[in-house]
Amino acid sequence: MSRFFVLSLNGLTQGAIYAAMALALVMIWRATQVINFAQGAMAMFTTYLALFAIDHGVPYWLAFLVALSSGLILGAIVERVIVRPVESAPPLNVVILTLGLLLFLEALAPMLFGGQIRSFPPAFSIVGLHFGNSQVAFSPFDAFTLGSVLAVMVLLLVLFQKTDLGLRMRAAAFNPDVSRLLGIRVGRMLTLGWSLASLVGALAGVLIAPSLLLYPTFMDQVLVFGFTGAVLGGLDSAVGAVVGGLLMGFALSYVGGYLGSDLETVGALVILIAVLMVRPRGLFSRHRLRQA
Amino acid sequence: MVAVHSRLDRLASRTLGGHLLLALGAAVLLLLLSTQIGAYDNYNLTAVAIFAVAAAGLNLLTGLNGQLSLGHGALMAIGAYTASLLLKDHELPVVLVLLLSVLSTGLIGIVFGYAAARLRGPYLAGATLTLAVALPQVATRYKSIFGGESGLTVPPTTPPAWLGPDFPPERWLAWIAVAAAVVTFVLLANLLRSSAGRAFRAVRDNEAAAALAGIDVARTQVLAFVISAACAGLAGALFAYWSGVTAPAGFGVTLSLQLVTAIVIGGLGSLAGAVWGSLVLVFVPSLTSGMASTLNVPSAIANNLPLAIYGGILVIAMLVAPHGIQGTLTRILTIGRARWGHTPAGGQKGVVDWDDPASDP
Amino acid sequence: MLEVVDLTVAYGPVVALHGVSLTVQDASITAVLGANGAGKTTLVRTISGLVRPRAGSVRLDGRELIRLPPEEIARLGIAHVPQGQGVLAELTVDENLRLGGLWRRDRKAQRGALDETYELFPPLAGRRHLTAFSLSGGERQMLSVGRALVARPRLLLLDEPSLGLARRALVQIMGRIKALVTERGLTVLLIEQNAKSALSVADDAIVLHLGNVVAHGPAQKLADEEGLRHAYLGF
């Protein structure tokens, strides 16, 4: 099997995870104009919670649900307790706030769950599938990763585009003042936006944990690549986030495969700068309507 | 209000001579201090001076010019590697090493500055953050030049003979760092009073209005970036001497984020804020780890408590003192003066704004 | 139905309303007139909860509205058509209209109200699935008013509906609103700079000048007072 094909498959799976992280960041950006640097740390925390559940004899799928639902709750708490009070503060203050939360969670996790590096079980085998005599570098777990990211994205799409709740959430994000005049409880919508975003982040966490191993900073890199993907796509666009995340996955896989793994991030930087020099607001930005 | 006005007038009349005098006073005090404290405290004093230089540069870029950089640690790395490469085969005077590091980082800053001037807000943040992640990997990749993961060792600077044979090298390094910081601060303070400083602020406040007023926005942003990079380069070179080894791990994303933290906690847009911020960066972690080690708790908790407290402090500080230490002090002083209607004569070391407090956002 | 008592609003040191009082009768149109900067928009923004007053009270059927957030005030049946940029430009025309009545949670009635609005404003019907961004100024104003009507409000706050609207469209909208007042008992507070046209549809009117009420009474009576017209109403 050609090298290119292997790298592409690998890039696709990694890209799906970066896309999920990018989507989480974009959802929060669109709802509250905040870059949530603690997104990765929050996902790390919920993954630890899932592992904690597994350690206590909870079956994998239930633990999976623990991760997702604790993501929902954690997102709501963070928005209500930490982000809401600084709603009108300068953007940089909110950046520092999320950085503070990142450090806090990364310190809290080892206190609660122990500091040693842990392995996290995959839902399915991570051994490549067999087709006839040949084995491809694509495992059942990779298929599960792709499938679940895709499923969550479709669900979100349906929620935002087809339901009244989604319509309210979009309205609240676009124009909170007008939305309030229309009787929309904007505060709740923003909380819900954070909740859903951190659910997506939590999904990324449990999906990447088996291949990265679990330690307090294991999501940092995923956050950076997800953020790069989001910026690449254009922070205002959910489609952009997904495309940007996938692009990051492919690019990192090719750079790593052909040029050496220690150049991965340099490759990411070069691509990002190249794109931003041509389109300073990302690939899918629409220069219009509203200044951020 | 009257008190505020007289204060502004007083500040406006402070000239190069005034800055120099103040700086000289601060330098003498710090040098005297360094002779009274031990090696460990000199080491910390050096760290404060280094971070103050880097944070002052970043504050110029972010606080005064409005460009958020999450990659300043990478610029420090450029300074540090320049210094380390220079010292690899030659014995060069410290001043020359520092100047060349400033030069090389400044030159690279021109390239980055042009790219940065096209980007705004979170897009600039994303690009600089990626820079912070990527640059250390270059050092890992080109092992033969940069020494890979283990990095390059930097020979310590030996105190000159006229200081005597027993002069502690930590104190000598502290002197160098303090001198470099004082020179940097004097230069920056004067820059901020100049038309360039006003242009920085004008661009931050409203790009369109600045452009209408005849300011070349892109050029102003590049200039701010270059000056800021030069400061980071100087700090990086000092950092190389200070740590004795220049390795990729020392310049990770954490360093960049720490610098941003320093200026926001210290006070955005003021040079004094950079000093406060670097004090926080150096002393809060050592205080909290001291505290944690005296507690009788399991090591998993004791080891992580400092970081948890640090993170908690950041969150709480942003909730209760959104203008940082300097901004809060300025407010308290302004209110106090307005209430008691007098102006304390001098003697407010450390609380002096070297630039215009009215420009604080 | 709506009672405003001694309302004082200030933006920092600038006082926008000095103890303004007014009463809006059930099923009537009350016009608020005055020049730019008289405090008209501040008044409606305070009623709908977007602005917190320094003192005074706003009561809807005896219920105090001050301190309620805008979304809860809207849910009491007060629809506010803001001046200018009231539409959500990123959303489609249909989505904008749907938003108007979402809080009622009565899907059937909502569908009916939507169809009615499209009948009332045919230009909107043809652009149902386009984003509001693509609409002209007049069409946006129609959308904004239509969306407020979808909520089937008890009290409608109209802030300068004539802005950007063609005369014909304005007459049509006001005619429709007038009909709702008589047929369904809708109550309207109409903010207008164009005093002449506002007085022709209103039952009562007040005139604001620099944050003070300088005249109030039946619309016809105010329209007949020449001195007042010259001094404050400009016609």
Q: Tens of pLDDT along B309-327?
A: 888 888 888 888 888 888 8
> Which residues, listed in sequence order, are joined to residue C190 by a DSSP beta bridge?
C31, C158
In this prediction, residue B340 has a pLDDT band, given cuts at 50, 70 and 90, of: low
Percent of chain A with pLDDT over 70: 97
Put simply, the chain C residues between 5 and 34 with a CB less than 8 A from any chain A CB are none
Residue A193 has pLDDT above 90, yes or no: yes
Q: Does A177 touch chain C (CB under 8 A)?
A: yes
Q: Does residue B353 carry a pLDDT above 50?
A: no
Span B130-159, pLDDT tens digits: 898 888 888 888 888 898 888 899 988 888
A177 vs C contacts (CB less than 8 Å): 50, 70
Residue B275 pLDDT exceeds 80: yes
d(CA C196, CA C198): 5
**pLDDT class of A286 with cuts at 50, 70, 90:** low
Instruction: Give CA–CA dist B119/B123, Å, rounded.
Output: 6
Query: Range with the lowest mean pLDDT among A112-126, B161-175, B299-313?
Result: B299-313
Ranges of residues in chain C with a pLDDT under 70 are 85
Q: Is the dihedral of CA B335, B340, B341, B346 positive or negative?
A: negative
Contact partners, residue B106, CB within 8 Å, separation at least 6: B226, B227, B229, B230, B233
Name the neighbours of A, counting chains with at least 3 Cβ pairs within 8 A.
B, C
Question: CA–CA separation, B273 vs B271, rounded Å?
Answer: 5
Residue holding tokens 């909208």? C173
Residue partners of B282: CB distance under 8 A and separation at least 6: B44, B47, B48, B51
Measure B158 CA to nearest chain A CA, in Å: 36
- Which pLDDT does position B147 carry in this prediction? 86
pLDDT band at residue B300, thresholds of 50, 70 and 90?
Answer: confident
| Helix H or strand E segment including A130 | strand A130-131
If residue B245 lies in a helix (H) or strand (E), which one and from where to where?
A: strand B245-246
Q: Does B348 have pLDDT greater than 60?
A: no
Per-residue pLDDT at A288: 45
Q: With cut-offs at 50, 70 and 90, classify the pLDDT of residue B296.
A: confident
A101 touches chain B (CB under 8 A): yes
Contacts of B126 in chain A (CB under 8 A): 227-228, 230-231, 272
CA A232 to chain centroid: 14
Sheet of C29-33: strands edge to edge? Answer: C78-81, C155-159, C187-192, C29-33, C204-209, C212-218
Whether chain A lies against chain C with 3 or more Cβ pairs closer than 8 A is yes
- What confidence score (pLDDT) does residue C165 get? 79
Q: Do A178 and C86 touch (CB under 8 A)?
A: yes
H/E stretch holding C125 reads helix C122-125
The pLDDT value recorded for residue C104 is 84
Distance, in Å, from the CA atom of B257 to the CA atom of B268, rounded to the nearest integer, reads 15
Q: Does residue B18 carry a pLDDT above 80? A: no
Per-residue pLDDT for B358 more than 60? no
Please report, in angstroms and rounded to a whole number, the separation of the first and last CA atoms in chain A: 47
Give yes or no for A26 touching B (CB within 8 A).
no
pLDDT at B14: 55
Partner-chain contact C80 A170, CB within 8 Å: no
Cross-chain residue pair A96–B307, CB shorter than 8 Å: no
Burial of B248 (0-12, 13-18, 19+ CB in 10 A): buried
pLDDT of residue B49: 95
A30 interfaces chain C, CB cutoff of 8 Å: no
Contact B260 A99 (CB under 8 A): yes
So what's the pLDDT on residue B249?
A: 86
Is residue A150 within 8 angstroms of chain C, CB to CB? no
> Has residue A115 got a pLDDT over 50?
yes
Q: Rounded to a whole number, what is the distance in Å from the CA of A255 to chain B's nearest CA? A: 13
Query: In the structure, do chain C and chain B come into contact, i.e. share 3 or more CB pairs under 8 Å?
Result: no
Partner-chain contact B119 A276, CB within 8 Å:
yes
Q: Give dist(CA C162, CA C105) in Å, integer.
A: 31
Between C167 and A209, the higher pLDDT residue:
A209
Distance, C-alpha A167 to centroid of its chain: 22
Under 8 Å CB pairs connecting chains A and B tally to 152
Nearest to B182 by CA among B357, B73, B31: B31
* A264 contacts B314? CB cut-off 8 A: no
Q: Give the pLDDT mean for A267-289.
A: 80
Give the Cα separation of B235 and B72 in Å (integer). 11
Rounded Cα distance between B3 and A30, Å, is 43
**A90 contact B CB<8A:** yes
Contacts of C133 in chain A (CB under 8 A): 288-289
* Mean residue pLDDT across chain C: 89
Q: Is 90 exceeded by the pLDDT of residue A20?
A: yes
pLDDT of residue B351: 33
Confidence label for A32 from pLDDT (cuts 50, 70 and 90): confident
Cβ-based contacts under 8 A for chains A and C: 72
Interface test with C, best of A182, A184, A291 (most C CBs within 10 A): A182
Minimum CA–CA partner of A263 in chain B: B137
State whether C71 and A180 contact (CB < 8 Å).
yes
pLDDT for B257 beyond 90: no
The whole-number pLDDT of residue B341 equals 53
Pick among C81, C102, C157 to test the A interface (most A CBs inside 10 A): C102
Residue B344 confidence class, pLDDT cut points 50, 70, 90: very low
Q: Is C57 helix (H, G, I), strand (E, B) or coil?
A: strand
Q: Do A111 and B301 touch (CB under 8 A)?
A: yes
- Look-up of token digits 């450029």: B78
- pLDDT band with cut points at 50, 70 and 90 for residue B336: confident
Chain A hits for C86, Cβ within 8 Å: 178, 181
Question: In chain A, what residues touch C102 (CB-CB under 8 Å)?
Answer: 164, 167-168, 182-184
CB atoms within 10 A of CB A5: 12
- pLDDT band, residue A79 (cuts 50/70/90): very high
A279 touching B (Cβ < 8 Å) = no
The whole-model pTM stands at 0.85
What are the structural domains of chain A?
Answer: 3-114+136-278 (1.10.3470)
Chains A and B touch (3+ CB pairs under 8 A): yes
Which residues are CB-contacts of B337 (< 8 A; sequence separation ≥ 6)? B3, B4, B7, B343
| Residue B345 to chain A, least CA–CA distance (Å) | 33
pLDDT at B122 over 70: yes
Measuring CA to CA, how many Å separate A46 from each of A20, A24, A69, A114? 15, 14, 9, 15
Residue B40's contacts (CB-CB under 8 Å, 6 or more residues apart) are none
Q: Quick one: average pLDDT of B319-345?
A: 74
Average confidence (pLDDT) over A125-143? 81
Which chains would you list as touching C if contact means 3+ CB atom pairs under 8 Å?
A
B146 contacts on A by Cβ (under 8 Å): none
Strands in chain C per DSSP E: 2-11, 14-24, 29-33, 55-60, 63-64, 78-81, 155-159, 187-192, 204-209, 212-218
Min Cα–Cα distance to chain B from A103, Å: 5
| Chain C residues with beta carbon closer than 8 angstroms to that of A179 | 71, 88, 99
Q: Which of A153, C61, A276, C100 is nearest to B131 (CA)?
A: A276
Residue B322: the pLDDT is 82
For residue A134, what is the enclosing H or E element?
A: strand A134-135
Q: Is A5 on the interface with C (CB under 8 A)?
A: no
CA distances from A132 to A4, A137, A140, A141, B3 (A): 21, 14, 16, 19, 86
Whether the per-residue pLDDT at B5 is higher than 70: the answer is: no
Reported as a pLDDT band with limits 50, 70 and 90, residue B350 is very low
The Cα B220–Cα A142 span in angstroms is: 49
Consecutive H or E run containing B153: strand B152-153
* Residue pair A270/A259 in contact by the 8 Å Cβ criterion: no
Please classify residue B128 by burial: count the beta carbons closer than 10 Å to its beta carbon, then call 0-12 exposed, 13-18 middle and 19+ buried: buried
The reply to whether residue A93 touches residue B322, judged by beta carbons under 8 angstroms, is yes
Q: Quick count: other Cβ atoms within 10 Å of Cβ B162?
A: 6
> Closest-CA residue in chain A for B260?
A96
Q: Has residue B352 got a pLDDT over 70? A: no
**A227–B contact, CB cutoff 8 A:** yes
Using 50, 70 and 90 to split pLDDT, how confident is the model at B349?
A: very low
Average pLDDT over residues A7-16: 93
Looking at chain A, the whole-number percentage of residues with pLDDT higher than 90 is: 62
Q: Is A287 on the interface with C (CB under 8 A)?
A: no
